[in-house]
Each structure stands twice: as C-alpha cells, then as structure tokens.
Amino acid sequence: MANVVIVGTQWGDEGKGKIVDLLTRHADYIVRFQGGNNAGHTLVVDGKQYIFHLIPSGILYEDKLCFIGNGVVLDPGVLLDEMQELSDSGLPVTPKRLVISERAHLIMPYHNVLDAGSEAAKTKGSKIGTTGRGIGPCYGDKILRCGIKAGDLLDPDLFREKLEENVKNKNRIITGEFNGTPLKVDDIYSQFQKYAEKLAPFIDNVSVKLDQGRKAGKHILFEGAQGTQLDIDHGTYPFVTSSNVIAGNACTGSGFGPSHIDAVIGILKAYTTRVGEGPFPTELFDGTGDELQKKGGEFGATTGRKRRCGWLDAVVANEAVRLNGITGMAITKLDVLSGQKTLEIGTSYQAAGKTFTAMPGNIRTAQQLQPVYEKLEGWTEDISGMTSIDDLPRKAKDYVKRVEELTETPAMIISVGPGREQTILLKNPFEK
C-alpha cells in the first residue's frame, strides 16, 4: 500500500494530467482534492486528446475509482457535461467509478456573475486574470459560512432555504454594484433539482471511503490542480487561485490523515510558463519565448489563453520542494528544449540592490525581480522517442542532473512528449 500526492511546482500547466494518468495504472483510487473547473488537465491516449476540468484524470481507466474531495468547488453543469462527453466516447461514468464528497461546495449561477462583475470593475493594473468561472466567490461563501454543498442537493427544503437567502444577498450586489439583472430563485432551484436527480447516486462521504480503502490496502493517488505559486497562502498573492494547492491540502481537501501520505511528486516543466497576470521573473520576451510557446503548444487547457513562457526558475522549484515536502520530481516537456543552443536556469533574483533566493511576499518587490541565470549547453537531438535515461544525449542528461542538484530532489519521471509511451520512468513512487 502507498499513498502518493501529485502537485504542480510552478504556476500550473506543468503536465500533471499526463503524470497522473501514468501513475494511475499503479493506483486503485484517484482523488481530486482542490480547485474547480478553472483548471484543465490534458491527456493524449492513443492519439486522442482528453481535457478534464473536474473529473480526476484516472477516469480513463475503467477499473479505477475516482473521487472529488470536499476541497473542490463543483459546477454541476460542467461536471455533467464532462460525464456526457466521456459516455459518448465509450467510457460511461457510474457511481462505481466516481464518488463526489457531500461536503464539496457548489458553484452557483450568482458566483459566475459576481466573478465576472468583480474582475470587470477592477482597474487595468489590478486585474487578476481570473477565468470567470465563479471559483473565488464560491470559496468566499465557503469561508463566510453561507455556501451550498453537494450534500444539500439531497435535501430539497434545505437547499431552497439556503438558495433564497443567498440570492437575496447576491442580488443586492448584482443590481446595485454591477447594474446587472437580478437572478430568480425559482429558475435556479428548478435547474439544480435536475442536477440533483442525476448526481444524487454519486454523492457520499469521501473521507470514510478513503479510510476504508486505506485499511484494505488500496493504493491512493491524490491529484492537485494549478501550481504551487498559485497557492492562496504561499503563491504570488493576489495573482493566485482561491484555494490551497500545496500537498498539505491533499489531506484537508479529502479528509485523509496526513500521517498516511508516503510520497509527494512535484511536476516540474523543463522551462516555465504562466497564464494570466502576475510576476514571472524568468519570462522571455524574445524569439526564444515565442519558440517555446509554439513548440510546446502552450495554450491554457481551460481558457485557450496563450501562456507566457520563460526559462526554468530554480527559485520557484525550490519553493515548491520546501512547501510541499516533495520527495521526487517528474520533469515534463524536456523534448521542447531540443534545438536550443544555450539553456538558462534562474538561480536567484535581484531587486533594489538585494539578492533573493526565495519569492518575496511583497507583490511589488516580486514584480521587480530580475533573475540571475546559470547557462548550460543545449542539445540538438530529437528525444521524443527515447525510452531510457541512457538514450538521452549527454547534454540532456546534464540538464536533468543540474535540476536535481539545484532542487536537491531526485528526478523520478522524465516526459519527452505528450503521449503515454513518451515517458521515462526512473522510479515508481508506489514501489517502496
């Protein structure tokens, strides 16, 4: 038995979906523990692309059980659309394959309206770059203790009572601050009762089921969304997501005891990308950045937005190692660096005459950071078909080794392409 957490080490989009898919074959349970449909995991299996926003990536394996934990904020319409798309692809999602936590909070129509209105009202320099999917307002209601949970769908009277109070309060903001059209309780109630009919068989106590699985010797894989620098507490605030994305929340967001976690795998893209606004010290504004963007196919899986690209940032990587307790790295998209004559890795920052070896908490300072680079020789060989570390060109192996040295963390997986087969597995975290 082993319990493994997968986290992103940068600003998300590191290729977590593929690594989760790879490791799922060794797991019995796969758990999504935070975030919402503002995140997207892209998988390529037998040449076919799948993009998931809420359902754990492990759903492609018919003999696995997937869980959506209490730390997730759930848009029922989006979830049902994903389930339908999978069914249309010959992979029907049943309660024997997916369990939804009764404690997961629901994204309501007013959350989307408030999210869009709030972002639109901000001045240009203060915009966050939100996806507008209602994630932040939903988490806000959770903290304010007025949220509606998945389990409330099973109690129509309680659901209506909570809905009426929320719509009354939200309409004051929608009509007063945003000059919008008030929402109608009956319309929302009717729609969500339809959702309830379809989702009721899936809703259960995830914490209890995970503990039962642990005691039965099941291998459990915890799947995070976004990346460490988007963590609400430890990221480049306020240019972050609205949940804790680091490994500690795998336990909080699923109801699983922390003493039962055996390994934490950090997904590290061989270069760095970021979607939306916020600091990005190693960002490239030249032809190299454009080349990485095009060759890496760097577009957001959820929004389709073009990703900003830059060199690997070892400061950010080390932040992730420290904050998550990472025990091994999965280095992704190493193949995208092929053809670069010289590679650079940011090893520290300079700002206002000071040297920084950690991301500063002051956002203005973070926006002024200038990276200090270490240069390495690149390689020209196409590595996308290589299946062993020994096959890699010496300079590619040198790059991997330097990443291990800078992060003081071993590489366990190296991805050299988007397909399942384009992966070099150095060590399986489920094998102790």
Binding site for IMP, residues?
Answer: 13-16, 38-41, 131, 145, 226, 241, 305
What tokens were used for 99? 């369990």
CA dist 264 → 2, 5, 288, 321, 328 (Å):
11, 5, 32, 9, 7
Catalytic residue among 13, 75, 141, 231: 13
> What span, in angstroms and rounded, lies between the C-alpha atoms of 62 and 91?
8
- List binding-site positions for Mg(2+): 13, 40
Give CA 175 to chain center in angstroms.
33
What tokens were used for 111? 């959350």
Identify which of 229, 55, 39 has the alpha carbon closest to the alpha carbon of residue 135. Answer: 39
Q: How many helices (H) and strands (E) are present in the chain, helices listed first?
A: 12, 20
Catalytic residue among 111, 142, 170, 269: 142
Phi, psi of 314 (to 5 degrees): -70, -25
Catalytic residue among 41, 53, 149, 269: 41
CA atoms lying within 13 Å on the CB side of residue 47? 0
13 is known as an active-site residue: yes
- List binding-site positions: 12-18, 38-42, 131, 145, 226, 241, 301-307, 333-335, 415-417
234 is known as an active-site residue: no
- List binding-site positions for GTP: 12-18, 40-42, 307, 333-335, 415-417
Identify which of 242, 235, 9, 13 has the alpha carbon closest to the alpha carbon of residue 133. Answer: 242
Asked whether 3 and 222 are in contact (CB, 8 A), the reply is: yes
Asked whether 188 and 70 are in contact (CB, 8 A), the reply is: no
* Position 83, amino acid: M
Angle, helices 156-176 vs 185-199, to 10°: value is: 140
Specify the DSSP element, H or E, that contains 377: strand 370-377
115 is known as an active-site residue: no
Q: Which residues are catalytic?
A: 13, 41, 142
